[in-house]
Amino acid sequence: MFNQVEFASWSGLITLIAFLVSFSVFVTVVVGAMRCSKQKVRHLAEMPLGEEKRS
Amino acid sequence: MKTKTIEYNDLVVRQFLIASVFWALVAMLIGVLIASQLAFHVLNFDTSWLTFGRLRPLHTNAAIFAFVGNMIFCGVYHSTQRLVRTRLASDFLSHLHFWGWQLIIVGAAITLPLGLSRGKEYAELIWPLNIGVVFIWVVFAINFFWTLAIRNEKSLYVAIWFYIATIITVAMLYITNHLQIPTSLLHSYPIFGGVQDALVQWWYGHNAVAFFLTTPILGIMYYYMPKAAERPVYSYRLSIVHFWSLVFVYIWAGPHHLLNTALPEWLQTLGMIFSVMLWAPSWGGMLNGLLTLRGAWNKVRTDPVLKFFAAGVTFYGMATFEGPLMAIRSVNAVSHYSDWTVGHVHGGTLGWNSFMAAGMFYWLAPRLWNTKLFSTKLADIHFWLGMLGILLYIASMWVSGITQGLMLNAVTPEGALAYPNFLEVVNSTQAMLRMRILGGVLFLVGMVLMAYNLYRTIRSGHPAVASIEVQVPEEPPKESLTLLGGFLNPPVIYSFLLVIFGAGWGFAQGMLSTISLVLLVETALIAMIHMGVSGQKWSEWYDKLLESWLPFTVLTFLAVAAGGMIQILPTVFIKQTAGADAPLQKVYTPLELAGRDIYVREGCYNCHSQMIRSLVGDVLRYGKSGRLTESVYDFPYQWGSKRTGPDLQRVGGKYPNIWHFQHMMDPRSTSIGSVMPNYPWLYTQVTDIPALSSKIRVLTSYGVPFPPRSPADIRQSCIDQGQRITEDLASGGIKISPDKEIIALIAYLQQLGKYDDPTAAPAASAAPDISAAPANQKQAKSH
């Protein structure tokens, strides 16, 4: 398990690329959230407030 | 469209609620006991199954998996049915989930005090129970996702997103950190060792906090706070940003548990930066929760539910401010291994988890049993007792922890330790440890009041049957996006290409960089023209994603898996033996291995670290800072996370055998003022030598270079080494058989810090070399 390939400089590069990919997807969904219509947002926000019958 | 009446399955919700309250009392009672043991060592009762080292894992596992676990399942099952307007998919799976989970908890409550432990924090349960946990988690996942698949509400509320993230991330973390090979029915070794094990462990440990103690509770917050305040969440858009920020950032922060250690520097920096980044989403979420109470603050004064929620969310804000602060390397130099961490953790679990649980239970119980809360007054008393308890607890741990950190790191102008005797530090915090007990007792009393209040509430009502009427189409509705369609669509493909070409432009050299730039611009232009001509909007994909649980789940999994893998893979592939200037750990003899397993069984890692940090105070006190190569044969690693006692990484040879013999019998006889328990059973119990063959075989399969030995050779080796120790003890007037466990433990302790190359072996505290600190970092950089 521990006796494998030597750690090299590529790990730093992969970190940056992975971060960029993650950050890009994050920005995409956040922009999507910001552009969500008011009607849709209101519908979603009020979802927990529905009533139910109890007996 | 036709009208259909949906009757919710609230039986399982009621069961989980009752179980959560019961296990909360058990977990906190054990918590008070072990807190008392640290102040009054006699409370260990010289009894193996009552010692701190064995009960502390029981306390943490009971609090996390039994109390909070049952609370999560209660909240998830109740709110999900309402949010997706359908009954839970399977009554059978719901029952199996509940009873299976309780069976696992009972198994843990039996095995942990018996010393059956894997020796990894919050992951101590033995392998048969690990399989049980995975099985029941899969049952939970199937029941949950199946319910989403048959839902009568198209949109997925943000609470459901948090639940999805919890289910898939916990599964990924748990399975990875519990990869192991059994050596017997009750024992196993993890497949990762040394630094790899440390990293995987804290990737798991940190994210257990993130995705077990935080994200599901946030989902619960987003459902029950609007419900209790009778108004929608302050900003739904902010809740979306909160979710994605946490998912993308949290998973990267695990390495902050290993700052200033032998972990490569780039990983430490990564962990620190992402931890600091967590401030923004955490506080965004906290403010969103608190602002949901806008216009309802008058109710907080009279309604215990809102009181608990408001305080719980405030504690979430406090804990998530404190966590990133402690992840800054210079702050961590003081806080790590100290009581400050204990205070931080309890600010989160008592303040955030327990208060949110209490608010949810007080809201749920009257509705689940169709009655009124027995006593609002009693709930108010619970709140104030709990609040006072938490404040006493965390304030005492802050004072104690900062005192410990400052005293242990303090150096005189001449360059010597200001407080060379570790016990001086232990004794200086005794008053705080007693105040902590008081805080814990107050909190426990509050929880007992809650249990009584809920009991009387339940007694006064009857199980309610809750139902709604929904309009359902004749044909079952189709998902907006298929799994494939969720990813193979123009916005996703264009975004992916833009990132790839952008990275190529930024990181590639020469012609490749220029080509990437050209492709980047061209792709952007093509995307704009294509989307414009076809009339598609970029947001369409996103809107559909929010209504399609499967692509959404896969996307969330990719987000958390990417961050995790980037941390784990480079270190798994590292050649730990590559450091030319570093000494290589000596392979354990069979007796030392047996001693190590006793060390793990007794939970010594709960109070002793085996990792000297690259800090002046550590190096002066314990010797050269730890290197990656010094724990390569440690399965599991034993770096620890708390120093109630001193570090043991280089304790081998520091004291004679007779010192260890007397110390384990009565720690006060060698170390006046010690709070360590006595271990009398080690002097009567016989070392399990027959088990060693199987253990060595498994470790050999991991690559540990044990010399080939038959079972008879192993036995002989143990007897020979044991006899050498007993002969040495006999010269001090002590007679004991070499097959006793204390002999194996002494053999293990005496080899700590021993290396194959004697010229490279760092000396203990006798001749400290402070230059080891930058040397260690240099080594990490050179990787």
pLDDT tens per residue across span B422-433: 999 999 999 999
Query: Using CB atoms, which residue from A13, A26, A55 is nearest to B248?
Result: A26
Number of domains in chain B: 3
Residues of B in contact with A30 (CB under 8 A): 240-241, 244
Same domain, B452 and B551: no
- The Cα of A13 is separated from the nearest Cα of chain B by a number of Å equal to 8
Residue type, B454: L
Inter-CA distances, B285 with B51, B308, B316, Å: 40, 17, 9
Closest residue on chain A to B228 (Cα)? A49
Query: Using CB atoms, which residue from B562, B577, B783 is nearest to A3?
Result: B577
What pLDDT is recorded for position B650? 94
- The Cα of B559 is separated from the nearest Cα of chain A by a number of Å equal to 7
Domain boundary among B578, B602, B636: B578
Same domain, B61 and B191: yes
Same domain, B602 and B461: no
What pLDDT is recorded for position B225? 96
Query: Are B222 and A7 in contact (CB < 8 Å)?
Result: no
Residues of B in contact with A18 (CB under 8 A): 562-563, 566
Same domain, B336 and B429: yes
Q: Cα B130 to the chain's mean position, in Å?
A: 15
State the helix-helix crossing angle for B376-409 and B355-368, rounded to 10 degrees. Answer: 160
Query: Using CB atoms, which residue from B82, B498, B573 is nearest to A7?
Result: B573
The CATH number of the domain holding residue B732 is: 1.10.760.10
What pLDDT is recorded for position B165? 95
Same domain, B459 and B518: no
Same domain, B440 and B542: no
Same domain, B545 and B495: yes
- The Cα of B5 is separated from the nearest Cα of chain A by a number of Å equal to 10
In whole angstroms, give the CA distance from residue B471 to residue B311.
Answer: 39
Residues of A in contact with B223 (CB under 8 A): 48
Residues of B in contact with A39 (CB under 8 A): none
Would you state the structure tokens that stand for residue B100, as one six-digit string? 């299976």
What pLDDT is recorded for position B764? 43
Residues of A in contact with B572 (CB under 8 A): 1, 4
Helix, strand, or coil (residue B46): coil
Q: Count the alpha carbons within 13 Å of B578 in the hemisphere toward its beta carbon.
A: 16
Q: Quick one: B630 exposed, middle or buried, by C-beta within 10 A (0-12, 13-18, 19+)? A: buried
Is the complex ipTM more than 0.85?
no
Residue type, B168: I
Query: Using CB atoms, which residue from A14, A36, A52 is nearest to B566?
Result: A14
What pLDDT is recorded for position A1? 37
CA dihedral B35, B37, B40, B45 (to 10 degrees): 150
Query: Using CB atoms, which residue from B231, B468, B703 is nearest to A52?
Result: B468
Asked if A47 has any chain B CB less than 8 Å from its own CB, the reply is: yes
Helix (H) / strand (E) containing A54: strand A53-54
In whole angstroms, give the CA distance from residue B778 to residue B593.
Answer: 32
Same domain, B572 and B608: no
- The Cα of B459 is separated from the nearest Cα of chain A by a number of Å equal to 16
Helix (H) / strand (E) containing B342: helix B339-346
Would you state the structure tokens that stand for residue B189, as one six-digit string? 């070794």
Q: Where are the domains of chain A?
A: 11-45
Helix, strand, or coil (residue A51): coil
Question: Is B539 part of a structural domain of the chain?
Answer: yes
Question: Is B287 part of a structural domain of the chain?
Answer: yes
Chain A contact probe: residue of B9, B157, B541 with most A CBs at under 10 A: B157
Task: Please list, in sequence order, all residues whose beta carbon lies within 8 angstroms of the beta carbon of residue B735, skipping any fewer than 6 positions away.
Answer: B726, B729
pLDDT tens digits for range B245-276: 888 888 888 888 889 888 878 788 888 888 99
Same domain, B224 and B304: yes
Same domain, B547 and B526: yes
Question: Is B162 part of a structural domain of the chain?
Answer: yes
Q: Chain A to chain B, count of Cβ pairs less than 8 Å apart?
A: 158
Inter-CA distances, B322 with B120, B174, B252, B633, B719, Å: 24, 26, 17, 35, 51
In whole angstroms, give the CA distance from residue B125 to residue B419.
Answer: 38
Query: Are A48 and B502 in contact (CB < 8 Å)?
Result: no
What pLDDT is recorded for position B780? 35
Query: Are A49 and B562 in contact (CB < 8 Å)?
Result: no
Query: Using CB atoms, which residue from B194, B236, B241 is nearest to A2?
Result: B194
Query: Using CB atoms, which residue from A17, A48, A55 is nearest to B157?
Result: A48
Q: Which of residues 3-42 of A touch B (CB under 8 A)?
A: 3-8, 11-18, 20-26, 28-30, 32-36, 40-42
Would you state the structure tokens that stand for residue B532, as one six-digit string? 């414009």
Query: Are B367 and A46 in contact (CB < 8 Å)?
Result: no
- The Cα of B253 is separated from the nearest Cα of chain A by a number of Å equal to 13
Query: DSSP state, B67?
Result: I
Residues of A in contact with B262 (CB under 8 A): none
Question: Is B473 part of a structural domain of the chain?
Answer: no
In whole angstroms, give the CA distance from residue B743 to residue B683.
Answer: 8
In whole angstroms, give the CA distance from residue B438 to residue B432.
Answer: 10
The CATH number of the domain holding residue B178 is: 1.20.210.10
Query: Are B155 and A43 in contact (CB < 8 Å)?
Result: yes
Pairing of strands A53-54, B466-472: antiparallel
Is the Cβ–Cβ distance between B621 and B645 less than 8 Å? no
Query: Are A44 and B82 in contact (CB < 8 Å)?
Result: no
Helix, strand, or coil (residue B470): strand
**Hey, how many other C-beta atoms are within 10 angstroms of the C-beta on B138?**
14
What pLDDT is recorded for position B538? 65
Residue B484: φ, ψ to 5°? -70, -45
Residue B197 domain boundaries: 2-466
Closest residue on chain A to B496 (Cα)? A21
**In the predicted model, what is the mean pLDDT of chain A?**
72
Query: Are B703 and A2 in contact (CB < 8 Å)?
Result: yes
Would you state the structure tokens that stand for residue B773, as one six-digit string? 């600190």
In whole angstroms, give the CA distance from residue B653 to residue B630.
Answer: 16
3-state secondary structure A22-40: HHHHHHHHHHHHHHCCHHH
**Hey, how many other C-beta atoms are within 10 angstroms of the C-beta on B459?**
11
Chain A contact probe: residue of B157, B236, B531 with most A CBs at under 10 A: B236
In whole angstroms, give the CA distance from residue B605 to residue B644.
Answer: 10
Query: Using CB atoms, which residue from A8, A26, A50 is nearest to B82?
Result: A50
CA dihedral B264, B270, B275, B281 (to 10 degrees): -160
What pLDDT is recorded for position B781? 35
Query: Are B237 and A36 in contact (CB < 8 Å)?
Result: yes
Same domain, B629 and B562: no
CA-based nearest residue to B559, from B281, B247, B271: B247
In whole angstroms, give the CA distance from residue B324 to residue B335.
Answer: 12
Helix, strand, or coil (residue B755): strand
Residue B328: φ, ψ to 5°? -75, 130
Closest residue on chain B to A47 (Cα)? B83
Residues of A in contact with B281 (CB under 8 A): none
Sign of CA dihedral A23, A24, A30, A33: negative
Residues of B in contact with A6 (CB under 8 A): 574-575, 578
Domain boundary among B551, B578, B605: B578
In whole angstroms, give the CA distance from residue A48 to residue A29.
Answer: 23
In whole angstroms, give the CA distance from residue B402 to residue B338.
Answer: 7
Task: Please list, in sequence order, all residues whose beta carbon lies within 8 angstroms of the beta carbon of residue B754, skipping any fewer than 6 positions away.
Answer: B586, B652, B653, B761
Would you state the structure tokens that stand for residue B541, as one six-digit string? 């994909």
**Hey, how many other C-beta atoms are within 10 angstroms of the C-beta on B472?**
15
Q: Cα B50 to the chain's mean position, in Å?
A: 23
3-state helix, strand, coil in chain B (%, to 5): 65, 5, 30
What pLDDT is recorded for position B365? 98
In this prediction, the residues of chain B whose per-residue pLDDT falls under 70 are 476-479, 535-539, 572-583, 756-783
In whole angstroms, give the CA distance from residue A38 to residue A19.
Answer: 31
Question: Is B637 part of a structural domain of the chain?
Answer: yes
Query: Are B574 and A45 in contact (CB < 8 Å)?
Result: no
Query: DSSP state, B586?
Result: P
Would you state the structure tokens that stand for residue B187, as one six-digit string? 């024992």
Same domain, B261 and B155: yes
Query: Are B575 and A44 in contact (CB < 8 Å)?
Result: no
